[in-house]
Amino acid sequence: MADRFTGFVAIDWSGAHGTAHPGIRMAYCANGRSAPVLVPRPGRAWSRQGVADWLLARADEPLLVGFDFSFSAPFVERGAHLPGDTPTPDARSLWAHVDDSCDDPDLGARSFLDARRGRHFYFGAADGRKADFLHWRRCEVAADGGRKPSTVYDAIGASQVAKASFAGMRMLRRLDGRIAIWPFDAVPAGGMLVVEIYTTIAARDAGRPRGRSKMRSGEALDDALAHLGSDRHRPLSRYDDHSTDAILTSAWLRTVADRADLWRPAGLTPQVAQTEGWTFGVS
C-alpha cells in the first residue's frame, strides 16, 4: 500500500434528523508530514447527501476515506441482521432494505429504527430489558472478550451509534458500485477506497489515555498528531470533538495504511466480510 493512496480523509458522521448537520466534519491530509486540514463545509453545515456528492465527484482519486459508523449489523451470532424482518443475506441487501424502507430527509434513517422499536432497537425501559437487544459484530468483540460500549441496536443515549450507522448504510448504497467499500470489495488498483473507522482507535494509537480520547485544545491535538509523525495543525476557531476527531483520524489513516495486518485481520472470514464488514484498525 506504500504508494497506493496519495490522500487520506476522515469523516466524523451524524445520524441526526434534518438536512444540515454541524456534527459532520471532514479532514484531509496528503502523504508526508503535513497536518490534516478541515475540508470547508458548503454553507453552514454538511448534509449527508453533500458528503456523498463530494466523494462521488472524486471517485477516481487515490484517496483512503474513513467513516466512523458501523457499515453493517451483527449477522454471524444469530444468522440474520434483523431476525424475523425482511431477510438480508449480506450487507448490501441490508443497505437496500434500509434505504427502501426510509423516506427521511437527507438519507436519515430514524423512521427505520422507530418502526422496529422494541423488536430490534432499544430506545428505553418501555422496550424491555436492554440486555436482550445487545448483539455485536465479530470485529466489535475484542480479543479479551470485552465489547465496545454500544451496538447498532442500542438507540438511546449520547454514545449510541444506531442512528448514524443506519443513515450511513443509506449513503453506502449510493456509493456502491461507484466507489470500492472495504471489506465488501477488494482493494482496487486505483481510485477511492472507503473503510469503516473507530476514532477511539486512532486516539489510542496517538497516545491518548483510555477514557480521555477527546481533544478540546490545540495543545492536546498537536501532542496527539506528533505521536503520529505529523506536523502541527493550523489553529481552529473552535475545538470541538467532531473537528479534532476528524483531523487526528485522517493523520492516523496515513500512518497505518501500510500495515498488512490491518488489511488481513485474523477474524475477517469471507462470511464476516460480506455480512458484517470490519472496522479498519482492528487486527
pLDDT in tens, 237-274: 788 889 999 999 999 999 999 999 999 999 999 999 99
Of the candidates 13, 14, 18, the one whose C-alpha atom is nearest the C-alpha of residue 104 is 18
pLDDT over 80 at 2, yes or no:
no
How many other β-carbons are positioned within 10 Å of the β-carbon of residue 133? 21
CA distances to 69, 98, 110, 112, 233 from 162, rounded to whole Å, are 9, 12, 9, 10, 32
pLDDT over 80 at 59, yes or no:
yes
pLDDT range class, residue 157, cuts 50, 70, 90: confident
Mean of the pLDDT values across residues 51-64? 98
Question: Cα separation of 163 and 15, whole Å?
Answer: 5
> What are φ and ψ of residue 164, in 5° steps?
-65, -40
More confident residue, 214 or 23: 23
Which DSSP helix (H) or strand (E) runs through 48? helix 48-56
What pLDDT score was predicted for residue 145?
Answer: 46
What pLDDT score was predicted for residue 171?
Answer: 98
Question: Cα separation of 99 and 84, whole Å?
Answer: 18
Do residues 186 and 31 lie in contact, with contact meaning Cβ atoms separated by under 8 Å?
A: no
Mean of the pLDDT values across residues 74-82? 97
Cα-based angle 38, 52, 43 (whole degrees, multiple of 5): 50
Mean of the pLDDT values across residues 21-44? 94
Q: What residues does each domain of the chain span? A: 1-112+167-283
Write the pLDDT tens digit of every residue in 191-241: 999 999 999 899 889 877 666 657 667 778 998 999 999 999 888 878 888
What pLDDT score was predicted for residue 44?
Answer: 87
What pLDDT score was predicted for residue 77?
Answer: 93
* Contacts (Cβ under 8 Å, ≥6 apart) of 152: 70, 73, 74, 161, 162, 165, 166
Write the pLDDT tens digit of every residue in 101-120: 999 999 999 999 999 999 99
Residues of the chain above pLDDT 70, percent: 94
Residues of the chain above pLDDT 90, percent: 81
More confident residue, 237 or 127: 127
Of the candidates 129, 153, 128, 131, the one whose C-alpha atom is nearest the C-alpha of residue 140 is 153
Question: Cα separation of 254 and 29, whole Å?
Answer: 8
Of the candidates 202, 71, 80, the one whose C-alpha atom is nearest the C-alpha of residue 139 is 71
Regarding pTM above 0.75, the answer is yes
CA distances to 105, 129, 156, 201, 258 from 121, rounded to whole Å, are 21, 11, 9, 26, 37
User: Which cell is 139 given?
Assistant: 470485529
Do residues 156 and 127 lie in contact, with contact meaning Cβ atoms separated by under 8 Å?
A: no
pLDDT over 60 at 143, yes or no:
no
User: Which cell is 181 given?
Assistant: 467499500
